[in-house]
Amino acid sequence: AQSVTQPDIHITVSEGASLELRCNYSYGATPYLFWYVQSPGQGLQLLLKYFSGDTLVQGIKGFEAEFKRSQSSFNLRKPSVHWSDAAEYFCAVALSGNTPLVFGKGTRLSVIA
Amino acid sequence: DAGITQSPRHKVTETGTPVTLRCHQTENHRYMYWYRQDPGHGLRLIHYSYGVKDTDKGEVSDGYSVSRSKTEDFLLTLESATSSQTSVYFCAISDSSNTEAFFGQGTRLTVV
């Protein structure tokens, strides 16, 4: 079955430290890939997306993600985390054609001083 | 934020009662979606629509129905609410099925 896996349920990092959130998918073809962020009590906001081309994509708030076809991964990174980055992060994929987004279960990020 | 309004934002209802949640968009997007969010499950698709009167089931459609009589409105109905339907419900819209979706602020539904 097609699926999206975020292996880390909860990650804690120190402010100023680097961050990497993992996302793996299992689809036959290369899907369209997204990262969303959700602050407490809020809806989801798109951080970045990959459709094709350069496998390193830049997003908002200083985030970037790298698509690695050989590993079926689309990991999210940030070189220096700020306290305001504490939130839940969701990886999502969509296939071409009439198929909706499928989400991973999310990774909750905590930031400590 | 994209022009998406969910109503109500909060609702408490009793088991066995019908409940309708509304999603209204001002973006004229073709696709509309209903997801539910539960701890440990992420967002799961309930139903979606790819045009007026065109809908399809998602991963967790049992106990839910939808209607889309106008481009701008997508209704989610719980025919007979159960405690397992206590959740946060999100509406989303997109231009096509494989571009980014824009999300509403969510509706917190509690079934007691």
pLDDT in tens, B30-82: 999 999 999 889 999 999 999 999 999 999 999 999 999 999 999 999 999 99
Give the residue from B34, B38, B43, B95 with the most A CB atoms within 10 Å of its CB, the best one to mutate.
B43
Reduce the secondary structure of B12-27 to three states and give it as a string.
EECCCCCEEEEEEECC
Enter the DSSP assignment of A69.
G
CB-nearest to B100 from A9, A34, A42 is A34
Query: Quick one: which of A110, A111, A112 has its CA closest to A9?
Result: A110
The answer to whether the beta carbons of residues B112 and B83 sit under 8 Å apart is yes
Token pair for residue A6?
């975020």
The reply to whether B100 touches chain A by the CB within 8 Å rule is: yes
Enter the DSSP assignment of A53.
S
The answer to whether the beta carbons of residues A27 and A101 sit under 8 Å apart is no
Q: State residue A48's pLDDT score.
A: 95
CB-nearest to B97 from A6, A51, A99 is A99
Q: What percent of chain B has pLDDT over 70?
A: 96
Give the residue from A35, A44, A49 with the most B CB atoms within 10 Å of its CB, the best one to mutate.
A44
Phi/psi zone of residue B75: left (φ > 0), alpha (ψ -120 to 50 degrees), beta? beta
pLDDT-derived band at B3 (thresholds 50, 70, 90) equals: very high
Q: What percent of chain B has pLDDT over 90?
A: 87
Give the residue from A37, A42, A99, A101 with the most B CB atoms within 10 Å of its CB, the best one to mutate.
A101
The reply to whether A46 touches chain B by the CB within 8 Å rule is: yes
CB-nearest to A43 from B31, B44, B106 is B106
Integer Cα distance of A50 and A28 in angstroms: 17
- Each residue's pLDDT expressed in tens, for chain A with a length of 113 residues: 678 999 999 999 999 999 999 999 987 777 889 999 999 888 899 999 998 889 999 999 999 999 999 999 999 999 999 999 999 999 999 876 557 889 999 999 999 99
pLDDT-derived band at B95 (thresholds 50, 70, 90) equals: confident
Contacting residues for B99 by C-beta, under 8 A, at least 6 apart: A32
Q: State residue A96's pLDDT score.
A: 65
The reply to whether A106 touches chain B by the CB within 8 Å rule is: yes
Does position B97 have pLDDT exceeding 60, yes or no?
no
The CA-based angle A94-A104-B111, given to 5 degrees, is 110
